[in-house]
């Protein structure tokens, strides 16, 4: 039985029990049962399921790991964490996040004006707000307004011009001022596809001479006491610990030097984000080569050592881990709409009294195939197919012959897969690579897995049930966009095998895990497929689950409204076409109009396909 690497990526948050993926919490509901409940209420199409307890779990783990290390090393500074809003700004994520972190030093990090407004409205009083990224005078003024509201806000400046603006706004708006942070430009950078935020050539941060200049500017304006923090971020998904250690050495020393130069309120270091998530689902392809405990221990130990050696106080630590906090909480469920080979059924075979000889041979291969000769016959049949397709192109065989060829080859593939199914996957991987099955999924990879499309980042994927049956088909996954990039191809280095299901008779769902960070907001509306229907699964004290915050995917008119179409004009035009059409009889006009309105009120994803009855 294949476990889809659940032991690698799930940290026991999800488990396989009785062939189903269950949420390892409360009474351990199977995700498929949750999905069926929701679908029974009419919500078809892809679903984004949020599990808020997994957000809480990650935050608790962070605090626990840092507290433990701080205790171990006698660290005198405090620990605070922030959620970088860029990772997930959706209200059904952020509002519960703030609810569950009341009373602990956990705040929000904002990188734009709308994100700052979210932070100003929802951050828990007393918890920190951090503002990073490029800022204009208006954004800086918003920071001052937040300070006047009583928020503990730090504006981290990315360049000296921002500092100049802060000094100007301070004069204009008066006290209380926000705290000031300086983003430092490190030599060190992370590694991996998201490593561009650090390093000497990075887009962000002040060089050493700019830091000295900033100190002078603050001193000259009598504002040095507001300079409380330095900040760095070496990139997201840091796969190895060594670049972080290098960055910490640099940052710890910069902190100590600036402190010694007179910045006596410089008591904090913000490490940015980057704490990695294990997305791998195959052995040997791990994407995180350290544990949280190692990460926390290295941070605390290095900062402690530098502070001690340079005789400065241990700085308070701020962490902006986003991916680590958010990725786990969301699962995308995509219904399988079709297996492409399904149409090649034996009943469709229409052999002629006299067939081209190669077709007769294919038929014989099909009938005589057994376990011993399966691979050889499969190779032969693929060769025959090539020849037959060439004969068709040259005009020697007709369309019926071509159809019989396709059906027979697919029947042979299925028979071979069946005969070889007890073999180990690696023994027949090359064959599997040649005879993939295409699974059509009711979702958009552009919308729901944009990092796959843009960066090749894979996410763990598993069927939600049948996990006690060996999957036999090497699978490539296709989404419903009209774009050939909407495909997750079968990859022999990290193969995906799925079950050979007859979608006309039974449902089959795939779950994509760890999609709670970045994917929702980066997702694009290619073909106008929008954010899928979402809901949260929350557990009561008895361990029963409840579905909350259900939000259906936008309907067609809303989607067009968002694009600034005049939807009243669209409705009027469509109605007029129906009323004036010569192709609709008068007694049918009302019926056609009714259908049209119904479809306009539904979302863009597919409801029915081919002969599937229940969709």
Q: How far is the CB of 577 from ligand PLP (least distance, A)?
A: 49
Q: How far is the CB of 423 from ligand PLP (least distance, A)?
A: 41
Residue 583, classified by CB atoms within 10 Å of its CB into exposed (0-12), middle (13-18) or buried (19+), is: exposed
Q: How far is the CB of 241 from ligand PLP (least distance, A)?
A: 14
C-alpha angle 10/13/19, rounded to 5°? 80
CB-nearer residue toward ligand PLP: 440 or 517: 517
Q: CA-to-CA distance for 195 and 228, rounded, in angstroms?
A: 26
- Beta pairing, strands 152-157 & 128-131: parallel
Q: CA-to-CA distance for 79 and 198, rounded, in angstroms?
A: 23
Q: What's phi and psi for 582, nearest 5 deg? A: -80, -5
Around Cβ 534, how many Cβ atoms within 10 Å? 22
Q: How far is the CB of 95 from ligand PLP (least distance, A)?
A: 20
Q: What is the largest CA-CA distance in the chain?
A: 99
The residue at minimum Cβ distance from ligand PLP is: 273
Q: How far is the CB of 220 from ligand PLP (least distance, A)?
A: 28
CB-nearer residue toward ligand PLP: 522 or 593: 522
Sign of CA dihedral 140, 146, 147, 149: positive
Q: How far is the CB of 404 from ligand PLP (least distance, A)?
A: 54
Q: CA-to-CA distance for 50 and 517, rounded, in angstroms?
A: 12
Given a contact cutoff of 8 angstroms between Cβ atoms, the answer to whether 531 and 505 are in contact is no
CB-nearer residue toward ligand PLP: 296 or 440: 296
CB-nearer residue toward ligand PLP: 29 or 205: 205
| The one catalytic residue among 394, 399, 482, 563 | 482
At residue 179, the 3 state secondary structure works out as strand
CB-nearer residue toward ligand PLP: 232 or 545: 232
> Which pair of structure tokens corresponds to residue 134?
């490029």
CB-nearer residue toward ligand PLP: 9 or 545: 9
> Which pair of structure tokens corresponds to residue 151?
């928020």
Q: Which residues are CB-neighbours of 79 under 8 A, at least 6 positions away? A: 63, 66, 67, 70, 105, 316, 317, 319
> Which pair of structure tokens corresponds to residue 540?
């009561």
Q: How far is the CB of 440 from ligand PLP (least distance, A)?
A: 32
Residue of 235, 236, 217 lying closest to 227 (CA atoms): 217
482 has catalytic annotation: yes
Residues that bind ligand PLP (CB under 6 A): 84, 87, 109, 132, 197, 233, 236-237, 272-275, 320-324, 517
Of the CA atoms within 13 Å of residue 31, those in its CB half-sphere come to 35
CB-nearer residue toward ligand PLP: 449 or 517: 517
Q: CA-to-CA distance for 431 and 381, rounded, in angstroms?
A: 13
CB-nearer residue toward ligand PLP: 109 or 278: 109
Q: How far is the CB of 186 from ligand PLP (least distance, A)?
A: 13
- Any idea what DSSP says for residue 236? S
Q: Which residue has the tokens 């449902």?
A: 507
Looking at the annotation, which residues are catalytic? 482
């Amino acid at each position: 039985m294949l476990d889809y690497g659940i032991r690698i990526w799930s940290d026991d948050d999800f488990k396989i029990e009785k062939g189903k993926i269950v949420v390892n919490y409360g009474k351990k509901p199977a995700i498929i049962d949750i999905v069926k409940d929701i679908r029974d209420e009419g919500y078809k199409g892809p679903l984004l399921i949020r599990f808020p307890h997994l957000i809480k779990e990650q935050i608790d783990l962070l605090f626990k790991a840092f507290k433990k290390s701080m205790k171990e090393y006698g660290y005198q500074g405090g620990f605070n964490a922030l959620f970088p809003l860029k990772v997930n700004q959706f209200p059904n994520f952020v509002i519960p996040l703030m609810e569950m972190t009341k009373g602990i030093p956990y705040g929000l990090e904002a990188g734009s004006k709308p994100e700052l407004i979210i932070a100003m409205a929802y951050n828990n009083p007393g918890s920190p707000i951090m503002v990073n990224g490029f800022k204009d005078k208006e954004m800086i003024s918003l920071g001052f307004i937040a300070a006047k509201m009583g928020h503990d806000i730090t504006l981290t400046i990315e360049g000296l011009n921002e500092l100049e603006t802060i000094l100007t706004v301070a004069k204009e708006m008066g006290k209380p001022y926000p705290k000031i942070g300086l983003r430092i430009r490190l030599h060190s950078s992370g590694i991996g596809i998201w490593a561009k935020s650090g390093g000497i050539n990075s887009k962000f941060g002040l060089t050493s001479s700019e830091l000295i200049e900033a100190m002078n500017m603050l001193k000259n304006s009598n504002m040095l006491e507001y300079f409380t923090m330095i900040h760095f971020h070496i990139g997201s998904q840091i796969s190895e610990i060594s670049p972080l250690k290098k960055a910490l050495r640099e940052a710890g020393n910069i902190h100590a030097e600036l402190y010694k130069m007179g910045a006596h309120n410089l008591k904090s270091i913000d490490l940015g984000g980057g704490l990695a998530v294990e997305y791998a689902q195959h052995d040997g392809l791990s994407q995180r080569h350290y544990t949280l405990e190692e990460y926390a221990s290295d941070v605390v130990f290095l900062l402690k050592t530098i502070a001690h050696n340079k005789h400065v106080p241990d700085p308070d630590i701020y962490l902006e881990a986003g991916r680590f906090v958010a990725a786990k909480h969301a699962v995308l469920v995509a219904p399988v709409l079709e297996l492409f080979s399904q149409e090649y059924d034996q009943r469709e075979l229409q052999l002629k009294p006299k067939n081209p000889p190669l077709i007769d041979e294919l038929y014989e291969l099909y009938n005589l195939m057994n376990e011993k000769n399966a691979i050889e016959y499969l190779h032969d049949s693929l060769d025959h197919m090539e020849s037959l397709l060439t004969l068709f192109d040259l005009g020697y065989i007709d369309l019926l012959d071509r159809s019989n060829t396709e059906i027979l080859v697919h029947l042979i593939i299925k028979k071979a897969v069946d005969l070889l199914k007890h073999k180990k996957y690696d023994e027949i991987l090359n064959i599997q690579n040649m005879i993939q099955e295409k699974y059509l999924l009711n979702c958009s990879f552009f919308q729901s897995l944009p990092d796959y499309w843009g960066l090749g980042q894979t996410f763990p994927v598993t069927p939600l049930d049948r996990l006690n049956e060996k999957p036999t088909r090497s699978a490539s996954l296709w989404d419903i966009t009209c774009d050939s990039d909407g495909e997750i191809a079968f990859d022999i280095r990290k193969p995906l095998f799925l079950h050979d299901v007859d979608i006309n008779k039974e449902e089959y769902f795939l779950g994509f895990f760890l999609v709670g960070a970045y994917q929702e907001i980066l997702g694009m509306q290619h073909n106008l497929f929008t954010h899928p229907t979402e809901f949260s699964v929350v557990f009561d004290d008895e361990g029963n689950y409840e579905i909350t915050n259900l939000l259906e995917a936008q309907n067609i008119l809303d989607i067009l409204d968002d694009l600034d179409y005049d939807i009243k004009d669209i409705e009027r035009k469509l109605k007029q076409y129906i009323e004036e059409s010569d192709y609709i009889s008068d007694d049918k006009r009302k019926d056609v109009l009714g259908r049209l309105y119904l479809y306009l009120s539904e979302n863009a994803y597919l409801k029915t396909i081919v002969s599937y009855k229940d969709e």
